[in-house]
Amino acid sequence: MLENLNVQQRLAVETTDGPLLVLSGAGTGKTRVLTTRIAYILDMGLAMPWQILALTFTNKAANEMKNRLGQMGGGAWSAADIWCGTFHSVCLRILRYNCERAGLRRDFLVYGEDDQKAVLKTIFAEMGLDPKEYNPATWVEKISGIKDKGLDAATHLGGRMGEIYDAYNAELARLNAVDFGDIILKVLELFDTAPDILEQYQRQFHYILVDEFQDTNGAQMQFLTMLTPAGGAQNICCVGDDDQSIYSWRGAEIKHILNFDKTYENAQIIRLETNYRSSANILGAANSLIRHNAGRLGKDLHPAPGVDAGDPVYVLTVPTDWDEARAIADTIGRNADNKYSDFAVLIRAGSLSRLFEEEFTSRGIPYRLIGATKFYDRMEIRDAIAYLRLLVHPFDDLSFLRVIAKPRRGFGPSAIAKIRGYGANLMVGLRAAPLAGKQRAAADEFLAAFDFDWDAMRPADAAQTLLEKSGYIKMWRDAKDADAPERIENVKELITNVISKYDTMAEFLEHAALMMTDDNDTETAGDTNAVSIMTIHAAKGLEFNTVFLPAWEDGIFPNEMAINEGALEEERRLAYVAVTRGRVRAVISNAMSRMVFGERKYNAPSRFIAEMDPQFLTFQGVGMGAMRSLRTRGIEQSYGNAPRPRPAPVRSENLVGKLVLHTEMGRGVIIESDGDILTIAFRDKGIKKVAKQFVQISK
């Protein structure tokens, strides 16, 4: 086991006692070290499987780790007993075990973004706030932002913010629900108020391991520090790369990795410097790019010994976005003897996937889409889950409201208001309310659909039964919409491929709740032979033989907001993550013209292209003739003599004079800008200093 590691990696595996940070660049074997370390701890008999807590970034990564460990154990221990999962799945487990102490009922629900918005809408209506000014989506973000910071963040809110925050949480409590942020926050509160429970977990987890540590947020960091008190063993091993921190928009804080040795005084830090993933050219290009970031620890990263330079990193400039999709599909087609799963198209934003989907579909290239349109975001999947939630939790009024109208049963707002008065929840109310004629019949039919012995059935069969009996599937069968057949297919896939894997409906619903909030997780097994089209965020930690990196254009990557706000370093880290996913070949491309949300745009090539050292690159494409050569010869054989694309001149950030909108203070104009603090002259409220994140700035 240890023979597959280099000296530094071995040291990281064998340094089991005390706090350890493995800080190193992409592809240096951090994840491999983590997995081997767990096996080592178990083989040496240092802990039982359930005394190990391993935190990964996605549920998929957790499954892969467990699978790999399952093969390593040789039967001596069971990988299934390791506490391995995301922060959210682990904390949810802790909450379930201790729900009463955490102030929750046993059958509490986990709300996704849709549910959160619905709750906020009700609250705004109750508080008499204008829905035009109070956008639920914006407020979901604000509230999550507070919860992601951990305990204490909400203590001094005050004002409108505080009112809404409190009302929102009170409504969740009334509905017996928690939101995504609560999953961790409630565990922190539990640990805070119930020291005996905290101590129990401190005692249970002898070893804690964290992958992708650079992307932990405040709440998650607090969870870790509470479990590893000073004076205790503090056997915590975190692995990460400050250059790959790409989730600050979700509350991740790079300072946790930078301050690790302050948080843990006798921390050891091990650096891994050999990259085993990428060709020397890919690595060289990536290194030369990330060097442009000022705020980094700085590391040396070398290719593995004996690795050759490999292909240069290809940079294609093509006339249109369509040419780009064709060139990429051509290249995949040309290398069809490779496995399709060797290829990935990594996109900056989900909206870029469509042309690739069309091009691949028309050529019969199998693909899977990850992180862009979430399976769990589809209307029919949400509907089906709402039905199942209501089946298991009859008190779930939000789900009731969603499904009572699917198919239509003649219950409009006034009927609902009436029902509300007849019971603690809408299901009870519907049964008890004095309804007449058709309405009573419709109500009884609806209630009857839920009235069967689902608990004694396999969850997949119960789901099938409910969705048939309730008329939901029939609704789509009868629908004339062009996409109705696809929706039925999706529901079928949910039942046969997902729900069927669970032993109880409650377990499935728990899983669904986690998946619904994490757009970067994926269900599909990694071994399907298909090209992956995924966002760069979703590709973190993964690797592919060939990566295509389209739309490297100013305004897209880096995106408009990052350029305007001078927030380029995180975009550059994202670009670094993208390039370093490639093992053998990386193909960067930019189109001179592209349709963006229905408008033709003429973007300059990304400044990131110009930042990379040209010795690792070759430039191709540009005109129609070049496109023909590309199509007939393929990227590898084409002439690499196109001029190096020149990026647009760098615009300096000048916010002064721009108009802004603030949810509480209304409209105003920026008169001074100092980093994140803006001085704004508000039309009604005078001159105020406001943090940039709280205002919308017009273009």
- Contact partner at residue 409 from ligand ATP, Mg ion, none, CB < 5 to 8 Å by partner kind: none
The answer to the question of residue 31 lying near Mg ion (CB under 5 A) is: yes
Comparing C-alpha atoms, which of 259, 254, 222 is closest to residue 241?
254
Identify the residue among 9, 317, 470, 522 touching ligand ATP (CB under 6 A): 9
- 510 as an active site residue: the answer is no
- Contact partner at residue 241 from Mg ion, ligand ATP, none, CB < 5 to 8 Å by partner kind: ligand ATP
Select the span of 23-31, 439-447, 554-562, 639-647 touching ligand ATP (CB under 6 A): 23-31
Which one-letter amino acid corresponds to residue 322? W
- 244 as an active site residue: the answer is yes
On whether the CB atoms of residues 309 and 283 are closer than 8 A, the answer is no
- Residue 236 beta carbon to ligand ATP: minimum distance, rounded to whole angstroms: 18
- 211 as an active site residue: the answer is yes
Q: How far is CA 154 from the centre of its chain?
A: 24
Give the whole-angstrom CA distance, residue 698 versus residue 683.
15
Phi/psi of residue 323, nearest 5 degrees: -60, -35
The answer to the question of residue 415 lying near ligand ATP (CB under 6 A) is: no
- Residue 91 beta carbon to ligand ATP: minimum distance, rounded to whole angstroms: 23
Which helix (H) or strand (E) segment holds residue 269: the answer is strand 268-272
Select the span of 22-30, 107-115, 130-138, 577-585 touching Mg ion (CB under 5 A): 22-30
The answer to the question of residue 301 lying near ligand ATP (CB under 6 A) is: no
Give the whole-angstrom CA distance, residue 242 versus residue 246.
9
Q: How far is CA 21 from the centre of its chain?
A: 24
Select the span of 28-36, 73-81, 109-117, 635-643 touching ligand ATP (CB under 6 A): 28-36
Give the whole-angstrom CA distance, residue 334 versus residue 328.
10
Select the span of 20-28, 122-130, 420-428, 669-677 touching ligand ATP (CB under 6 A): 20-28
Give the whole-angstrom CA distance, residue 629 versus residue 620.
10
Identify the residue among 32, 256, 374, 389 touching ligand ATP (CB under 6 A): 32
Select the span of 4-12, 329-337, 624-632, 671-679 touching ligand ATP (CB under 6 A): 4-12
- Residue 539 beta carbon to Mg ion: minimum distance, rounded to whole angstroms: 11
Phi/psi of residue 514, nearest 5 degrees: -70, -40
Identify the residue among 19, 29, 49, 605 touching ligand ATP (CB under 6 A): 29
Which helix (H) or strand (E) segment holds residue 681: the answer is strand 677-682
- Residue 193 beta carbon to ligand ATP: minimum distance, rounded to whole angstroms: 36
On whether the CB atoms of residues 397 and 426 are closer than 8 A, the answer is yes
Residue closer to ligand ATP (CB basis): 276 or 452: 276
Of the residues 148, 179, 211, 323, which is catalytic?
Answer: 211
Q: Enumerate residues 6+ apart whose C-beta is below 8 A from 620.
A: 314, 315, 316, 317, 626, 630, 635, 638, 639, 640, 642
- Residue 296 beta carbon to Mg ion: minimum distance, rounded to whole angstroms: 18
- 212 as an active site residue: the answer is yes
- 583 as an active site residue: the answer is no
The answer to the question of residue 541 lying near Mg ion (CB under 5 A) is: yes
Residue closer to Mg ion (CB basis): 181 or 541: 541
Of the residues 244, 535, 580, 620, which is catalytic?
Answer: 244
On whether the CB atoms of residues 109 and 176 are closer than 8 A, the answer is yes
Query: What does DSSP say about strands 52-55 and 666-674: parallel, antiparallel, or unpaired?
Result: unpaired
On whether the CB atoms of residues 249 and 289 are closer than 8 A, the answer is no
The answer to the question of residue 572 lying near ligand ATP (CB under 6 A) is: no
Give the whole-angstrom CA distance, residue 97 versus residue 186.
13
Select the span of 3-11, 221-229, 282-290, 312-320 touching ligand ATP (CB under 6 A): 3-11
- Residue 541 beta carbon to Mg ion: minimum distance, rounded to whole angstroms: 4
Identify the residue among 19, 27, 312, 394 touching ligand ATP (CB under 6 A): 27
Identify the residue among 20, 26, 79, 184 touching ligand ATP (CB under 6 A): 26
Select the span of 109-117, 465-473, 537-545, 621-629 touching Mg ion (CB under 5 A): 537-545
Cβ neighbours of 468 (radius 10 Å): 12
Query: Which residues 440-499 are close enough to bind ligand ATP by CB under 6 A?
Result: none
Residue closer to ligand ATP (CB basis): 28 or 589: 28
- Residue 30 beta carbon to Mg ion: minimum distance, rounded to whole angstroms: 5
Token pair of 672 as six digits: 């001074």
Maximal C-alpha separation, the chain:
82
Within the chain, how many helices (H) and strands (E) appear? 29, 23
Query: Which residues 123-162 are close enough to bind ligand ATP by CB under 6 A?
Result: none
Return contacts of 158-165, CB within 8 angstroms, 24+ apart: 159/664, 160/663, 160/664, 161/664, 163/127, 164/120, 164/123, 164/124, 164/127, 164/134, 164/139
Give 546's strand partners: 343, 585
The answer to the question of residue 8 lying near ligand ATP (CB under 6 A) is: no
On whether the CB atoms of residues 237 and 14 are closer than 8 A, the answer is no
The answer to the question of residue 311 lying near ligand ATP (CB under 6 A) is: no
Angle between the 136-149 and 180-193 helix axes, to the nearest 10 degrees? 30
The answer to the question of residue 5 lying near ligand ATP (CB under 6 A) is: yes
- Contact partner at residue 29 from Mg ion, ligand ATP, none, CB < 5 to 8 Å by partner kind: ligand ATP
Task: Count Cβ neighbours within 10 Å for each residue of 570-608 and write b for 16 or more, e otherwise.
Answer: bbbbbbbbbbbbbbbbbbbbbbbbbebeeeeeebbbbbb
- Residue 68 beta carbon to ligand ATP: minimum distance, rounded to whole angstroms: 10
Identify the residue among 218, 312, 350, 541 touching ligand ATP (CB under 6 A): 541
- Contact partner at residue 632 from ligand ATP, Mg ion, none, CB < 5 to 8 Å by partner kind: none
Which one-letter amino acid corresponds to residue 659? L
- Residue 581 beta carbon to Mg ion: minimum distance, rounded to whole angstroms: 11
The answer to the question of residue 31 lying near ligand ATP (CB under 6 A) is: yes
Query: Which residues 241-300 are close enough to bind ligand ATP by CB under 6 A?
Result: 241, 244, 276-277
Residue closer to ligand ATP (CB basis): 303 or 605: 303
3-class secondary structure for 1-37?
CHHHCCHHHHHHHHCCCCCEEEEECCCCCHHHHHHHH
- Residue 580 beta carbon to Mg ion: minimum distance, rounded to whole angstroms: 10
- Contact partner at residue 553 from Mg ion, ligand ATP, none, CB < 5 to 8 Å by partner kind: none
- Residue 26 beta carbon to ligand ATP: minimum distance, rounded to whole angstroms: 4
Which one-letter amino acid corresponds to residue 335? N
- Contacts to ligand ATP by CB under 6 A: 4-6, 9, 26-32, 241, 244, 276-277, 541, 543
- Contacts to Mg ion by CB under 5 A: 30-31, 541
Which residues carry out catalysis? Answer: 30-31, 211-212, 244, 581
